[in-house]
Structure 1
Amino acid sequence: MKSCEVNFDGLVGPTHNYGGLSYGNVASQSNSQQSSNPKEAALQGLAKMKALMEMGFVQGVLAPQERPDVAALRSLGFAGTDAQVIQQAAKQAMPLLVASCSASSMWVANAATVSPSADTADGRVHFTAANLNCKYHRSIEHPTTSRVLGAMFADQKHFAHHAALPAVAQFGDEGAANHTRFCRDYGEAGVEFFVFGRSAFDTRYPAPQKYPARQTLEASQAVARLHGLRDGGVVYAQQNPAVIDAGVFHNDVIAVGNGEVLFYHEDAFLNTEQMLGELQGKLGKLGGNFQSICVPRAQVGVEDAVRSYLFNSQLLTRADGSMLLIVPEECRANERVWQYLQGLTSSGGLIREVKVFDLKQSMQNGGGPACLRLRVALNETELAAVNPGVIMTAPLYDTLTQWVDKHYRDSLRETDLADPQLLLECRTALDELTQILKLGSVYPFQIN
């Protein structure tokens, strides 16, 4: 049965703003308080989705969160009408209002960890929503994320959904941003690769000293158990604590994998040779041929990798078997990174082409092409069972661009978040979006 990998890109939300909320994310912090353009951000994301669809890739869309999250503010003691809650928060605790308006859910690489049916004990595709408990503004996402994923992948015969792990530091889980999968073919059993920043209970593992390690070994192991993964199909690796302290807050900022290939920076991991050997051995037992591309620090330093988001790229397999790398415009603007990429594609190696996309609005908030998408490997039967309303088509692209033009603002500053009208605009837009994507009632304002 034919299988494919579907990229479900997050649709940028109407409250896209630069709150600088993510300690450890250099771009997020450095652009804090600048004026954002939600309309431009959403259209840039949609343009990438359309381009991949036109290249022949199956492309989906994942709806944003309701923001501001009034229920979260109420749970913190603000009361009255929705407008009064927002006004009180703006007056008494503006940072909490900013957090409740975060549009970081657009980076759906953090939405969940996904294991395809070829890997799982019960032969279903498994989803575990990420608890994202390292950051308050992201920890409030998973209830809506679970409902949206449930509406997209509703057939229990093919799809299994797990609640987020316990919201405590010992089980910090950041979803697919620290997870990838290697396989000979998307429909065959593969090796799932979990990267963690620290261990909650085992002191033998070193931890970063400056920035937090968001993913724990224990969380990764728990997800593997929930998904029913076999020991021979899992590899755990520790991220280098030094690169976390250099601003590499997720593994997808320093490495990306696809098919049988891992593209990574020389300083990405601890015990790299041991890890590569384990990946090669386990994939080899499944008939695969694991290959790796190491980017030397002498050619591209960690700082350049973080600034350009070279590794926060999409590594895609085309119909002819060659690989394509989708990178942000910032890679072309960085002389060392661009020189490396030119040499990479001209060498006749595994990656044959690089395509550049303008994702400036997302990049300034700390997320590149890889952050914007959640990968789901599906066979033909499973793809047919996905809610068809979320699969990108030319008519859907036109409808969504018109929807964005109708509902989104051209600029947004922190002071604008205190405007109760923004909440009404957001709810009106999302109510219409759920009808466009055929999601039903997934947002709190639609349910309560």
Structure 2
Amino acid sequence: MSQTIDEGMRQSLNSVREVNFDGLVGPTHNYSGLAHGNVASMSHEGLVANPREAALQGLAKMKSLMEAGYAQGVLPPQQRPDLGALRALGFSGSDAELLTRAASDAPQLLRAVCSASSMWTANAATVTPSRDAPDGRVHFTPANLQSSFHRYLEPATTGRVLAAIFSDAAHFAHHPALPATPAFSDEGAANHTRLGAAYGDAGVHLFVYGRRAFGGDGVEPRHYPARQTLEASQAIARQHGLCEAQTVFAQQHPEAIDAGVFHNDVIAVGNGPVLLYHELAFRDEQATLDELRHKMSTSLIPVRVPLEAVSLEDAVASYLFNSQLLSNADGSMTLVVPGECQQREAVWRCIQDHLLAGHNPISDVVVKDVQQSMRNGGGPACLRLRVALSGAERDAVSGSVLLNDGLHGELAEWVRRHYRDRLAMEDLADPQLATESLTALDELTRILAIGSVYPFQLN
């Protein structure tokens, strides 16, 4: 009997694959410049956006990675504009009156409730695979995103979406978002990296924080806010049952945050045993590496990019480290970078001469056009939530959210049918935009077969 169990467990572990769940760009995609500390978002404020192009760019990236053999999933956007948020803040009247008054009296609030920021699903939640959890289930905690109002509006719907897709309690466990207070400020998987050997092997979880809420030495960024707290990262580790031997907590370098590195995934990316990072990613680089080496069951492969090769300015402008690092069957890895990496000579030279020619598993670089997202400060890695799933867990995923050619075609046609090709700031007050968005999202839930997850569907 024990041999049968051991063999079954071995097969289960060998079947584990990482699925990248990309966020669909929503119909209200715009450039409001809402994210303080996000240099790209702030610098493109007020530009005319193209929601249709943005969504199709995201779908094209998903399709190309699916065709290359990587497992790919889809997460829906949020309901926007969030008229319920405006009503909760004292605005009243019909939907049209609500939008008109908000545009006149509180234009920044209107921009916030129209934000399509949920496209960056790296911020949606923190995920622990079943291999690492004591109860053998995949654990999810939606990020509270309390550091900015436009993102604070997301967690309730995010939780419903995750619960609808990962609904089988035998395989998946869901936790509430942390208390939405500065002490437990949580930005999700953008500040979390799992390192190990294969996806089915035990991993070590690297949580990166910007500040301590209780105590600490006071060394924090001076210009931009540190969005993740140590206390939030520790709380999530406890929720998921992770022990001290499975976790490393490292402080992000304050200089990097002040340069526009608002999340760790803008300055470092990990996959398997590889940690690709900038010299100024961590406040104490050596202590972080030493602890990872001590706790990992396989050898850490650090790929360090020195400041002299890529400046912080170039790192932020190109989003070199906000790239996807993907495992291939032969043990090599592919780096999926935004097109902006080619536009920075130092960055492109680093990719060719330091990464591809270095002694590490990175053997290929793929360039993707996600310019509409990049202008708001989100690269390829921002657009996806990584979920390691066994074969049985993939079979237990509800709805039609795992991408195939048919679903891609249906979603692309859905976008072309419902999305505008031009959206300026003044368009956010158009009540027709709200109607178009709700109509599109109602149809989307039927395409993805996830049931009623939006407030307008639950009322």
Partner of 2:352: 342
Give the structure 2 partner of residue 196 of structure 1: 209
- SS of structure 2 residue aligned to 1:256: strand
d(CA) in 2 for partners of 1:181 and 1:250? Answer: 16
In the TM superposition, residue 81 of structure 1 has moved relative to its aligned partner by 1.9
Secondary structure at the aligned position of 2:296 is classed as: helix
* 1:228 maps onto 2:241 in alignment: yes
Once the two structures are superposed, the pairs formed by residues 296-315 of structure 1 within 5 Å of their partners are: 296-315=306-325
1:378 Cα deviation (Å)?
0.7
Measure how far apart 1:46 and its partner are: 0.1
Partner amino acid for 1:391? L
**Moved beyond 4 Å, runs of 4+:** none
Once the two structures are superposed, the pairs formed by residues 327-406 of structure 1 within 5 Å of their partners are 327-343=337-353, 344-347=355-358, 349-406=360-417
Question: Which structure 2 residue ranges, 5 or more long, are not aligned?
Answer: 1-11
Does residue 445 in structure 1 map to residue 443 in structure 2?
no
1:75 counterpart = 2:88: yes
Secondary structure of 1:387's partner? Answer: coil
2:216 and 2:270 map into 1 onto residues whose CA distance is 29
Give the counterpart letter for 2:101 in structure 1. Answer: Q
2:118 pairs with 1:105: yes
Q: Deviations over 1:351-386 (max 9, x none)?
A: 101000001000001100000000001111111101
Letter in structure 2 aligned against 1:199 = R
Cα offset, 1:346, TM superposition: 3.1
Once the 2 structures are TM-superposed, how far is the Cα of residue 203 of structure 1 from its aligned partner?
2.7
Distance (whole Å) between structure 1 residues aligned to residue 395 and residue 245 of structure 2 = 30
Which of 287, 302, 305 lines up with 1:274 in the alignment?
Answer: 287
Are the counterparts in 1 of residues 301 and 360 from structure 2 also a CA contact under 8 Å? no
Q: CA offset at residue 238 of structure 1?
A: 0.3
**Residue 436 of structure 2: aligned partner:** 425
Aligned-pair CA distance for 1:45: 0.2
Query: What pairs up with 1:203-242 in 2 under 5 angstroms?
Result: 203-242=216-255
Match of 1:363, as an amino acid?
M
Report the CA distance between 1:347 and its aligned residue: 3.8
Q: Which residue of 1 aligns with 2:36?
A: 23
**Match status 1:139 vs 2:149:** no
What amino acid sits opposite 1:146 in the alignment? G
**Aligned-residue offset at 1:320:** 1.1
d(CA) in 2 for partners of 1:4, 1:446: 33
Q: Deviations over 1:313-363 (max 9, x none)?
A: 000001111000000000011100001111121346321010000010000
SS in 2 for 1:389: coil
TM-score in terms of structure 2 length: 0.96
Mapped partners of 1:205, 1:94: distance in 2: 35
Matched, 1:34 2:44: no
* Residue 419 of structure 2 corresponds to residue 408 of structure 1: yes
Matching residue within 169, 173, 184 for 1:156: 169
Whole-angstrom CA distance in 1 between matches of 2:278 and 2:314: 11
SS in 1 for 2:302: strand
Greater Cα offset, 358-367 or 348-357: 348-357
**1:23 CA displacement:** 0.4
1:289 positional shift: 1.5
Structure 1: distance between partners of 2:176 and 2:218 = 28
Using the TM superposition, give the Cα deviation of residue 188 of structure 1 relative to its aligned residue in structure 2, in angstroms: 1.8
* Sequence identity percentage: 61
Q: Which amino acid aligns with 2:318?
A: S
Name the SS for the 1:126 alignment partner. Answer: strand
Give, in whole Å, the separation in 2 of the partners of 1:82 and 1:164: 29
Q: Deviations over 1:72-108 (max 9, x none)?
A: 0011000122222112111211110010000000000
Q: Which residue identity lines up with residue 415 of structure 2 in the other structure?
A: V
Provide, for residues 198-217 of structure 1, a one-character-per-residue CA deviation record: whole Å limited to 9, x for no partner. Answer: 00012325111100000000
The 3-state SS of whatever aligns with 2:420 is: coil
Matches of 2:218 and 2:16, distance apart in 1: 38
Listed one character per residue, the Cα deviations across residues 111-153 of structure 1 (whole Å, up to 9, x for unaligned) are: 0000001111211100000000000000010000000111110
Matched residue pairs, number? 445
- Counterpart position of 1:183: 196
